[in-house]
Amino acid sequence: MKKRFQKYLVIAVLCTVVMCLFSVSVMSAGSEATVSEVSVVQSTDTTATGARTFTSDKNSDSSQSEDKISQKPGFAERFYTNFIQDNRYRLLLNGLKTTLLITLFSMAIGLVAGFLLALIRVAHDKNGSVRILNLLAKLYITVIRGTPASIQLMIIYFVIFASTDINQTLVAIIAFAINSSAYVSEVIRSGIMSIDVGQFEAGKSLGLKFSSIMTTIILPQALKNVLPALGNEFISLLKETSVCGFIGLADLTRGGDLIRGITYDAFMPLIAVALIYLVIVIGLSSLVSLMERKLKKNER
């Protein structure tokens, strides 16, 4: 009897121990779940706080950018910065002087050289003489008209005069005079060839020499016919001088670019350069039209 009682007692004790262990494990699992929930809640609160902070920072950055946009300088301030401050307008004035100097001297030299080339071509076409000179003139005109003016300018400065300390303005005058002479020669030649052949034959019948026929009969009529084309050549030459910056020459275009490099504002200096070119071209076109009208009145 005692043995059975002891057996049941042992079983009861074991069951009690098992129940106690089970309850302890359940309590520990519940505490871990509570801790994880608290950590999740805390991390959620931290994320929400960070999001609010990021949103506020973003709003502050956007407000600062809007303030910067609203504080963008106006036209008067930009005009002062580009032209008045530090007398930067002088860069344009000095560049304009250089551009006009190069254009005038290049056109004058180009007219003389082009006239001589045209006479050589016409003399060969009329009389069949000066064959070698005519061949050289044709080769010269072909090469000059077939290559860009900027390449000719750089070849003359960096190749031909590379070993000499020559003035850049003089180099530009030489380069553009050479370029202009090729075009002027063809303009004058076309004007001479447009005159009726009968007038040349009439001069011959009067016993006049070739030079006298050209200077007294042919050229006065030819120059009147080619005046608009020469005016266009002068205008084209003026605009072609804008490539002088390739050899470091401070012409009008280079002056505007220097202002742009200082102020980091490309609009106002480049527009100013374009307007200056436009005004000069309009003035030259008006002058050519006036000369044409006067020549037409003399015909009447």
* Minimum mean pLDDT range among 54-58, 133-137, 290-294: 54-58
Q: Give the span between the Cα atoms of 6 and 14, in whole angstroms.
A: 12
pLDDT of residue 196: 85
Q: Give the span between the Cα atoms of 272 and 293, in whole angstroms.
A: 32
Q: Domain locations in the chain?
A: 88-299
The overall pTM is greater than 0.85: no
Average pLDDT over residues 112-133: 89
* Minimum mean pLDDT range among 37-41, 139-143, 206-210: 37-41
210 neighbors 123 (Cβ within 8 angstroms): yes
Band (pLDDT 50/70/90 cuts) for residue 24 is very low
At 149, list the tokens. 């003016």
pLDDT of residue 105: 97
Q: Is the pLDDT of residue 172 over 50?
A: yes
Average pLDDT over residues 34-60: 46
pLDDT of residue 91: 94
Question: Domain 88-299 - what CATH class?
Answer: mainly alpha
197 neighbors 133 (Cβ within 8 angstroms): no
Q: Is the pLDDT of residue 152 over 90?
A: yes
DSSP state of 83: I
Q: Give how far the C-alpha of residue 173 lies from the chain's centroid of Cα atoms, to the nearest Å.
A: 22
CA nearest neighbour of 222 among 198, 197, 191, 199: 191
pLDDT of residue 125: 86
Q: Is the pLDDT of residue 21 over 80?
A: no
